[in-house]
A and B are shown apart, each in its own frame.
Chain A
Amino acid sequence: MSTTRVEVAKTLKLYVNGAFPRSESGRTIAVKDARGNIVAHASHASRKDLRDAVDVANAAQVKWAAATAYNRGQVIYRIAEMLEARRAEFVSLITAIEGRTKSAAAKEVDHAIDRTVCFAGWSDKIAAVLGGKQPVAGPYFVFTMPEATGTVAVVVPDATPMLSVMTLMLPVICAGNAAIVIAPLSNAPLAAALGETFATSDVPAGIINILTGLRAELCPWIASHRDIQAVSGAFLPAADAKALELGCAENLKRVCMYRDAPAFTDDGFWHSPFAIAPFVELKTVWHPSAL
């Protein structure tokens, strides 16, 4: 009689509307570790999963944008707290699946957590830095304020998925947008762990959604979807970037496509308020000023 305990394997699912559905398509793809062993089966998101995520994101975004910036900051800070608590899990997922050293993995996880803290502090400062009172040449009181753009598709490159997801997603939600993250299937266990972290971080359901899927398959649908208002992407293959930009032209979605940018480890670049600027609309309000 064997005394070896059988490990309970996790079923990898999508993260949509605060819940963990399987892909409606029923499709899965094997996830291998660095040694080539199959460690899990990732839920392979479809076009319909994307559309479902857009619906819930749009519904949730209105309330999230209307929440106080202080509140949004605290929720993002809570994400950092939860990430820190699961630090060891993230390190081991990166080590096992991507075959990187423990210290390299730890560095990435720490960077992602620290970046989260940075953006927790941005939410109530964006207006001060990007907006302002305008000294117009006339008797008017005029101010410019940033507002959330809406639902943003965040298309993540394959490398360093944890730092990639956090770097591209944080500026989006920090300004009051909802994010639909398209995460690589290659490290779906990490994407699942991130989803579980967000689900326990006071992030309202629907504000962060994670679809593990094939970028090339989903990009054209993201680009042509009328209820996605913006797309964020970095270091993507040229074909994916072009497919996104072409489709986005149909309804003039905002596209923030980083091609030649510093690596995600560069705080000087990625902690800037101008990482947030592409996902806000500036509204200028005029009123006559008189006694």
Chain B
Amino acid sequence: MHESFAYAPAPESVRPALKPVYGLFIGGKFVEPKSGKYFTTINPATEQGIAQVADANAADVARAVAAARKAFPLWAKTKPAERAKILFRVARRVQERSRELAVLETMNCGKPIRESRDEDLPLVAQHFFHHAGWCDKLSYAFAGATARPIGVCGQIIPWNFPLLMAAWKLAPALACGNTCVLKPAETTPMTALMLGEILQECGVPDGVVNIVSGGPEAGRAIVALAGKGVDKIAFTGSTEVGKLIAKSCAGSGTKLTLELGGKSPNIVFADAALDQAVEGIVSGIWFNQGEVCCAGSRLFVEESIHDDFIARLKARMAQLRVGDPLDKNTDVGAINSRAQLDTIERYITMGSSEGANCFTAPCDLPAKGFWCRPTLFTGVQPSHTIAREEIFGPVLSVMTFRTPEEAVQRANNTTYGLSAGVWTEKGARALEMANRLSAGVVWLNTFNRFDATAPFGGYRESGFGREGGRQGLLAYVKLGSDAARSLKSGATR
């Protein structure tokens, strides 16, 4: 009767109300860029334009920083409980407009609507809600120290979770009384610009948040002002760029936090609940097309179950639905840009040429747009490029181990240290693995979980500083002496 149980198309019907042209959001309104330049931001699934967006240059960034400087004294002095109410309002308004924002995110970014709707947007709202509550509780957050805002924060964010990264940066900065210049990624400015409208609507004072869309020039201009108008730099992106930023900031006294790349291990022991582990591996590497800094891109399987586990994984891969990101049944959407697709394809070619065995999920790809099939490499050696370098795409490298010690040693054998996953039913082993893995986030029998209360960030070359929770606030305050025991007040760390 039923030839197949194929899914009927289920496209999201909401269309966000967009303007044809977006200026820069500076001083509380959208203004024409001094650069005079605009570029078309596209939908990577269709390659069609979404809107014209301003391309900020150094003069535009200077203007945004000046606006943030001007707004700082008043915002820093605003009664914390009043700041809180404004941020709570932002959280509520994001919830109200979450469907529209989710669709826009998916259109601009390529990620499946199921993810932007169920993961990104709820986390965005939670992030504002959580941090709103901190505004009037900062004096309780730092044992015995006084917390003061830093000043103007220059915040540069990536294209993989555009709105969520904006929330991770803005919410704690604003809660602590700072003002911000935010640069969304070149390919994904849309939701940040819509967030600008929401902030304005919710009563965030003019100049407290400034949003400058643009490319590397705008990013470099923000970093160039470190110590000269910008008091803090927060960056999420590649380790390569992170190092350049750290160098530019050297000697300037600017506070810096970096959330960078990863090559995170996902370790499956023979005693794991295997089907659950398969789901975890799938979410670990194919969530958001693998364009996730903490993606579980190196899979270590205990040797004794390797063949069985890989067979289960391949069977599951065959079920992944790749295609229209706006379809509610889609599991894997479009790669964010042509450039990123080229990078991923280069790595896939390299994986085969260096001797690993390539398997790709059997599926059809749309004719237009940037697509990459979920890809799995077995027989990978630790020396292979695909085992060492961050690919930032849906490519999983599989290796094996025999003992827990070997698993730890191989998992830690990387310059990165962002996340790690462990799959085992033995409690003591899970906890000891958590102790020994060098990673800022360890997921035991789960993967890719995030929360506004849970600090996120890396060890080693995955960067420094944390985002989320009480620990994340540290990135946005200057701490002073405990007044009761201090000889001199005023200086801060």
Q: Which residues of A contact B (CB under 8 A)?
A: 129-132, 134-138, 140, 142, 144, 229, 238, 241-242, 245-246, 248-252, 254, 257-263, 265-269, 271-275, 277, 281-288
| Bound complex: CA A273 to CA B451 (Å) | 25
Contact of A252 with B260 in the complex, beta carbons under 8 Å: yes
Q: Mark B464-487, 1 if CB is under 8 A from A, else 0.
A: 101001110010000111111111
Shortest beta-carbon distance, A108 to chain B, in Å? Answer: 15
* Interface 9-residue window, one of B4-12, B72-80, B358-366, B438-446: B438-446
Given contacts A129-B143, A134-B469, A284-B456, contact A252 B461 (CB under 8 A): yes
Contacts of A238 on B, CB cut-off 8 Å? Answer: 251
Contacts of B260 on A, CB cut-off 8 Å? Answer: 252
Q: Tell which of A250, A254, A284 touches B441, judged by Cβ atoms closer than 8 Å.
A: A284
Contact of B483 with A144 in the complex, beta carbons under 8 Å: no
| Bound complex: CA A275 to CA B239 (Å) | 27
Which parts of B394-437 form the interface with A (CB within 8 Å)? 415, 430, 434
Contact of B470 with A287 in the complex, beta carbons under 8 Å: no
Q: Which residues of B contact A (CB under 8 A)?
A: 126, 142-145, 239, 242-244, 246-247, 249-251, 253, 258, 260, 415, 430, 434, 439-446, 449, 451-457, 459-461, 463-464, 466, 469-471, 474, 479-488, 491-493
Shortest beta-carbon distance, B281 to chain A, in Å? Answer: 16
Given contacts A144-B469, A246-B251, A271-B485, contact A286 B461 (CB under 8 A): no
Contact of B442 with A284 in the complex, beta carbons under 8 Å: yes
Contact of B491 with A269 in the complex, beta carbons under 8 Å: yes
| Bound complex: CA A258 to CA B258 (Å) | 19
Given contacts A242-B250, A268-B487, A283-B439, contact A274 B444 (CB under 8 A): no
Given contacts A286-B441, A286-B446, contact A252 B455 (CB under 8 A): no
Pairs A–B under 8 Å by Cβ, sample size 13: A132-B470, A241-B251, A252-B260, A252-B461, A252-B463, A262-B481, A267-B486, A268-B483, A272-B144, A274-B142, A284-B456, A286-B446, A288-B445
Shortest beta-carbon distance, B122 to chain A, in Å? Answer: 8
| Bound complex: CA A260 to CA B231 (Å) | 14
Q: Main SS of chain A's interface residues?
A: mixed
Given contacts A138-B449, A252-B239, A252-B246, contact A283 B442 (CB under 8 A): yes
Residue in B closest to A270 when the chains form the complex, CB atoms: B481
Shortest beta-carbon distance, B226 to chain A, in Å? Answer: 12
Q: Tell which of A140, A242, A258 touches B251, judged by Cβ atoms closer than 8 Å.
A: A242
Contacts of A257 on B, CB cut-off 8 Å? Answer: 253
Shortest beta-carbon distance, B109 to chain A, in Å? Answer: 23
Contacts of A242 on B, CB cut-off 8 Å? Answer: 250-251
Contacts of A136 on B, CB cut-off 8 Å? Answer: 449, 451, 453-454
Contact of B444 with A285 in the complex, beta carbons under 8 Å: yes
Contact of B251 with A282 in the complex, beta carbons under 8 Å: no
Contact of A261 with B444 in the complex, beta carbons under 8 Å: no
Q: Tell which of B143, B242, B443 touches A252, judged by Cβ atoms closer than 8 Å.
A: B242
Given contacts A136-B451, A241-B251, A251-B415, contact A272 B481 (CB under 8 A): yes
Of A271, A274, A284, the most chain B CB neighbours within 10 A belong to: A284
Contacts of B482 on A, CB cut-off 8 Å? Answer: 268-269, 271-272
Contacts of B439 on A, CB cut-off 8 Å? Answer: 283
Q: Tell which of A142, A249, A273 touches B143, judged by Cβ atoms closer than 8 Å.
A: A273
Contact of A134 with B451 in the complex, beta carbons under 8 Å: yes
Contact of A286 with B486 in the complex, beta carbons under 8 Å: no
Q: Tell which of B440, B454, B484, B485 touches A134, judged by Cβ atoms closer than 8 Å.
A: B454
Contacts of A285 on B, CB cut-off 8 Å? Answer: 434, 441-444
Contact of A142 with B491 in the complex, beta carbons under 8 Å: no
| Bound complex: CA A248 to CA B484 (Å) | 35
Contact of B491 with A261 in the complex, beta carbons under 8 Å: yes
Contact of B446 with A144 in the complex, beta carbons under 8 Å: no
Contact of B444 with A286 in the complex, beta carbons under 8 Å: yes
| Bound complex: CA A137 to CA B125 (Å) | 12
Contacts of B253 on A, CB cut-off 8 Å? Answer: 257, 259
Residue in A closest to B130 when the chains form the complex, CB atoms: A137
Contact of A252 with B460 in the complex, beta carbons under 8 Å: yes
Contact of A130 with B446 in the complex, beta carbons under 8 Å: no
Contact of A245 with B249 in the complex, beta carbons under 8 Å: yes
The 10 closest A-B pairs by CB, nearest first: A268-B486, A242-B251, A249-B246, A268-B481, A245-B250, A268-B485, A136-B451, A268-B482, A269-B481, A246-B250
| Bound complex: CA A273 to CA B474 (Å) | 12
Shortest beta-carbon distance, B224 to chain A, in Å? Answer: 15
Contact of B434 with A262 in the complex, beta carbons under 8 Å: no
Contact of A266 with B451 in the complex, beta carbons under 8 Å: no
Given contacts A144-B454, A265-B487, contact A272 B444 (CB under 8 A): no
Contact of A135 with B491 in the complex, beta carbons under 8 Å: no
Contacts of B461 on A, CB cut-off 8 Å? Answer: 251-252
Contacts of A251 on B, CB cut-off 8 Å? Answer: 415, 460-461
Residue in B closest to A246 when the chains form the complex, CB atoms: B250
Contacts of B144 on A, CB cut-off 8 Å? Answer: 268, 272-273
| Bound complex: CA A250 to CA B457 (Å) | 19
Contact of B250 with A283 in the complex, beta carbons under 8 Å: no
Contact of A245 with B142 in the complex, beta carbons under 8 Å: no
Contacts of A144 on B, CB cut-off 8 Å? Answer: 454-455, 469, 471
Residue in A closest to B454 when the chains form the complex, CB atoms: A134
| Bound complex: CA A285 to CA B440 (Å) | 8
| Bound complex: CA A83 to CA B37 (Å) | 67
Contacts of B451 on A, CB cut-off 8 Å? Answer: 134, 136-138, 140, 142
Contact of A245 with B442 in the complex, beta carbons under 8 Å: no
Contact of B481 with A277 in the complex, beta carbons under 8 Å: no
Residue in A closest to B474 when the chains form the complex, CB atoms: A277
Shortest beta-carbon distance, B294 to chain A, in Å? Answer: 11
| Bound complex: CA A286 to CA B445 (Å) | 8
Shortest beta-carbon distance, B121 to chain A, in Å? Answer: 14
Contact of B440 with A260 in the complex, beta carbons under 8 Å: no
Contacts of A268 on B, CB cut-off 8 Å? Answer: 144, 481-487
| Bound complex: CA A229 to CA B415 (Å) | 12
Contacts of A259 on B, CB cut-off 8 Å? Answer: 253
- A142-B451, A274-B142 known; 7 other A-B pairs, CB under 8 Å? A260-B492, A263-B487, A271-B485, A281-B459, A282-B455, A282-B471, A283-B434
Contacts of B492 on A, CB cut-off 8 Å? Answer: 260-261
Contacts of B446 on A, CB cut-off 8 Å? Answer: 140, 286-288
Shortest beta-carbon distance, B423 to chain A, in Å? Answer: 11
Residue in B closest to A254 when the chains form the complex, CB atoms: B464
Contacts of B258 on A, CB cut-off 8 Å? Answer: 252
Q: Tell which of B243, B443, B455, B471 touches A250, judged by Cβ atoms closer than 8 Å.
A: B243
Contacts of B449 on A, CB cut-off 8 Å? Answer: 136, 138, 140, 286
Of B244, B249, B441, B457, the most chain A CB neighbours within 10 A belong to: B441
Contacts of B415 on A, CB cut-off 8 Å? Answer: 251
| Bound complex: CA A138 to CA B443 (Å) | 14
Of A136, A229, A265, the most chain B CB neighbours within 10 A belong to: A136
Shortest beta-carbon distance, B316 to chain A, in Å? Answer: 19
